Structure 1
């Protein structure tokens, strides 16, 4: 059986496209015939070779830069963005409990992961007001959340807070707002656990860490970027997921929680 995702020639903007999940998502959407704009903060080496793609740089913390990103996407493809995949994000590799975390780290993580998401969604909805009915028919926002947003993550409270805000603040709010702009518009989040990406590479080299991370995960595997990208494409599809709205979809191998680490002092 052949499934039509309904994404052929649909304009998809993927932020953080040079990362593991981002690049895999770009490749998946390309295979489905989508029109693609790939965002990155710096010029990447791994996003060459995608025919016709718009590759645009922007600092998601900056209002003008985000607005210019959407202008560049429209100018390159001569069509409005219909699907926004908010995939970019930072996670500090050095453990920092809240008691020791610097204000600079906290503010920068929220600026990138949360304020950046706000600026992108606002610009997306504003340009969607000018879109054709055909462009609006495929309208959706997909956030990339995290198990950290559901279960928390000790020593990475900045990251957990930013992801929880996307998953439980913006998703249920925006799914009620987007329909005022596009009557069939949808907003959902795909929320991975640990994924074998460059951002997680150093942590995943530690076998003991991986054992703890998977201790409550029945499938006992670290996800690949393709595992996540395929779910992003499915939820973006207006034909396969056209009645799925306001959902947090956990793509985490069935994780039930986290082990305490380091051990609690008694």
Structure 2
């Protein structure tokens, strides 16, 4: 197994009860990291990891400012300073809706869960890092500071009838990632901010959609590898980017884990007839 030098590095993972978050938590624990695994609704899926003394489970609604502050306080109390952050929570609403017909309530919900909550989590992480530096924590640990966002290929190519999700992910992948990579170094000179952007992945959130033959065809028709991703595919890239040992000079980047996907077909064969 490749040693990523993550021994005792405390990583907080949001959305750890989802497919990508769970796979990331499992992989980072195997690498010797200390992991705070956040969940929103239930922690049942995380129970098989609970035997690890390096794991702390915490539940919170990340759209709440006070709840977000609370999970960082609890994480620091249990496992010490949070040195790395993986933002893997998110919401993709299944219903197809043209923007002209989209209720404001849906737009706000998507933005709050995917983007505003990311702002709240990232802000608390950076504040905690600053506090740790002021306390004189070991500079070697501060140097391992890292943020990895989980974006989406939809943030690059767009997604018709899901403009809310695409817009939120695009803001995270570009505006936020590229801004924060310039800010984190003011706290941690070797700190890094990157993003992993998957296409469709076999996760609980995507399970129903991937039962639709039309969605499968539209996606795989432009994917050279002719397959969807597995949560481990994404988790492995997250772990690599979290590691200062192997990615110490990588920041401000979006790693696309898409099987080479170039886009989605806009017109099916029947759409072109007549």
Shorter chain as normaliser: what TM range?
over 0.9
For residue 19 of structure 2, what is the aligned residue in structure 1? 20
Give me the whole-angstrom Cα distance separating, in 1, the residues matched to 2:141 and 2:69: 19
* Preserved contact between residue 219 and residue 263 of structure 2 (Cα < 8 Å): no
For residue 7 of structure 2, what is the aligned residue in structure 1? 8
* Preserved contact between residue 142 and residue 236 of structure 1 (Cα < 8 Å): yes
Give the TM-score of the pair, scaled to structure 2: 0.93
Q: How much does 1:41 deviate?
A: 1.1
For residue 176 of structure 1, what is the aligned residue in structure 2? 182
2:262 paired residue among 235, 247, 256: 256
**4+ residue stretches of structure 1 with deviation over 6 A?**
none
Q: How much does 1:144 deviate?
A: 0.2
Matched, 1:152 2:151: no
For residue 67 of structure 1, what is the aligned residue in structure 2? 69
| 1:20-55 superposed Cα distances (whole Å, 9 cap, x missing partner) | 001111101011110000001123211013212110
Give me the whole-angstrom Cα distance separating, in 1, the residues matched to 2:215 and 2:265: 11
For residue 58 of structure 2, what is the aligned residue in structure 1? 56
Matched, 1:30 2:32: no
Give me the whole-angstrom Cα distance separating, in 2, the residues matched to 1:134 and 1:93: 44
Q: How much does 1:187 deviate?
A: 0.2
Give me the whole-angstrom Cα distance separating, in 2, the residues matched to 1:130 and 1:208: 50
Give the TM-score of the pair, scaled to structure 1: 0.96
Q: How much does 1:261 deviate?
A: 5.2
Q: How much does 1:211 deviate?
A: 1.4
For residue 43 of structure 1, what is the aligned residue in structure 2? 42
* Partner SS, residue 12 of structure 1: strand
Q: How much does 1:134 deviate?
A: 3.0
Query: Which structure's residues are more often helix, by fraction?
Result: 2
Give me the whole-angstrom Cα distance separating, in 2, the residues matched to 1:105 and 1:116: 15
| 1:235-261 superposed Cα distances (whole Å, 9 cap, x missing partner) | 111111110010011000111122115
| 1:89-112 superposed Cα distances (whole Å, 9 cap, x missing partner) | 000011111011110000010001
Give me the whole-angstrom Cα distance separating, in 2, the residues matched to 1:24 and 1:14: 11
| Unmatched 5+ stretches in structure 2 | none
For residues 169-248 of structure 1, the aligned pairs below 5 Å read 169-248=175-254
* Preserved contact between residue 18 and residue 46 of structure 1 (Cα < 8 Å): yes
* Preserved contact between residue 43 and residue 57 of structure 2 (Cα < 8 Å): no
| 1:59-91 superposed Cα distances (whole Å, 9 cap, x missing partner) | 1111111010100100111x1111100100000
| 1:160-216 superposed Cα distances (whole Å, 9 cap, x missing partner) | 000000011001000000000100000000000000000000111122321111111
14-23 or 41-50, which moves further after superposition?
41-50
| Unmatched 5+ stretches in structure 1 | none
Q: How much does 1:58 deviate?
A: 1.2
* Preserved contact between residue 80 and residue 135 of structure 1 (Cα < 8 Å): no
* Partner SS, residue 56 of structure 1: strand
* Preserved contact between residue 62 and residue 113 of structure 2 (Cα < 8 Å): yes
Give me the whole-angstrom Cα distance separating, in 2, the residues matched to 1:35 and 1:68: 18
Q: How much does 1:226 deviate?
A: 0.7
- Please tell me the root mean square deviation across aligned C-alpha atoms, in Å: 1.5
